[in-house]
Structure 1
Amino acid sequence: MAELQIIECVPNFSEGRDRGTVEAIVRAMRVDGVELLDYSLDGDHNRSVVTIAGAPEAVVEAAVRGAGKAAELIDLRGQSGEHPRIGAADVIPFVPVAGLSLVQCAMLAHQAGMALWKRSHVPVYFYEAAATRPDRVNLEDVRRGQFEGLVRDAAKDAARRPDVGGPEPHASAGASAVGARKFLIAYNIYLTTQSSGPDVGQARSIAKEIRASGGGLYGVKAMGVLANGRAQVSMNITDFQRTPMSRVYDTVREIAEKHGATLAEGELIGLIPEQAYEPNSEWVRQTHQFDPEEKVLERRLKHPLAWP
Structure 2
Amino acid sequence: MNSDAIIECVPNFSEGTDVAKVSKIVAAMQVEGVSLLDWSLDTAHNRSVVTIAGPPAAVIAAAVKSVGKAAELIDLTKQKGVHPRIGAADVVPFIPVSGISMAECAVLARQAGLLIWRTYGVPVYFYGAAAARPDRVQLEDVRKGQFEGLREATRRDAARRPDVGGPGLHETAGASAVGARNFLIAYNVHLHQGDISAARAIARDIRASNGGLHGVKAIGVVANGRAQVSMNITDFRITPMRHIHATIQHLAQRHGALIDDAELIGLIPQEAYDEGSEWVGQITGFNPALKVLERRLEHPLAWPTA
* Pair 1:283 & 2:279 matched: yes
| Equivalent AA in structure 1 for residue 63 of structure 2 | A
Query: In structure 2, what is the Cα distance between the partners aligned to 1:209 and 1:249?
Result: 13
1:160 maps to which residue?
160
Spell out, residue by residue over 1:78-106, the C-alpha distance to the aligned partner (whole angstroms, 9 max, x if none). Answer: 10100000000000000000000000000
- Partner secondary structure for residue 287 of structure 1: coil
Following superposition, the deviation at residue 4 of structure 1 comes to: 2.0
Q: What amino acid is the match of 1:51?
A: T
Q: Choose which of 235, 242, 246 in structure 2 pairs with 1:246.
A: 242
CA offset digits 1:23-61 (Å, max 9, x no partner): 000000000010000000011100000000001000000
Task: Please give the alpha-carbon distance, in whole angstroms, between the structure 1 residues aligned to 2:37 and 2:197.
Answer: 35
Q: How does 1:224-243 map to 2 (within 5 A)?
A: 224-243=220-239
2:48 counterpart letter in structure 1: S
Match of 1:266? 262
For 1:212, which of 198, 208, 215 is the aligned residue?
Answer: 208
AA of the residue aligned to 1:217: L
Unaligned runs of 5+ in 1: none
- The alignment status of 1:221 with 2:217, answered yes or no, reads yes
Give the secondary-structure state (helix, strand or coil) at the position aligned to 1:155.
Answer: helix
Distance in 1, matches of 2:185 and 2:196, equals 22
Greater than 3 Å deviation, 4+ residue runs: none
Q: Does 1:306 align with 2:302?
A: yes
Q: Distance in 2 between matches of 1:268 and 1:181?
A: 19
Deviations 1:193-223 (A, max 9, x none): 2xxxx11111111100010011110000000
Aligned to 1:108: 108
Mapped to 1, the partners of 2:237 and 2:28 lie a distance apart of 34
**Matched residue type, 1:90:** D
AA matched with 2:102? L
Q: State the distance in 1 between where 2:100 and 2:226 align.
A: 41
Which letter does structure 1 place at the counterpart of 2:127?
A: Y
Residue equivalent to 1:177: 177
- Residue 153 of structure 1 and its aligned partner are, at CA, apart by 1.0
Structure 2 distance, partners of 1:219, 1:153, is 29
Counterpart-to-counterpart distance in 1, 2:192 and 2:276: 23
Distance in 1, Cα, partners of 2:185 & 2:102: 17
Q: Give CA-to-partner distance per residue, 1:155-207, whole Å, 9 cap, x none.
A: 220110100000100000000000000000000000012xxxx1111111110
Q: How does 1:65-144 map to 2 (within 5 A)?
A: 65-144=65-144
Question: 2:72 corresponds to which letter in structure 1?
Answer: E
The offset of 1:281, in angstroms, is 1.0
CA distance in 2, matches of 1:278, 1:159: 44
Alignment of 1:145-156 (within 5 A): 145-156=145-156
Matched with 1:188 is: 188
Give the deviation of 1:3 after TM superposition: 5.7
* CA RMSD, 1 decimal: 0.7
Q: Give the partner amino acid of 1:285.
A: G
Aligned-residue sequence identity (percent) comes to: 65
| TM-score normalised by structure 2 residue count | 0.98
C-alpha distance in structure 1 between counterparts of 2:44 and 2:282, whole Å: 21
Q: Which amino acid aligns with 2:191?
A: L
Distance (whole Å) between structure 1 residues aligned to residue 167 and residue 278 of structure 2 = 48
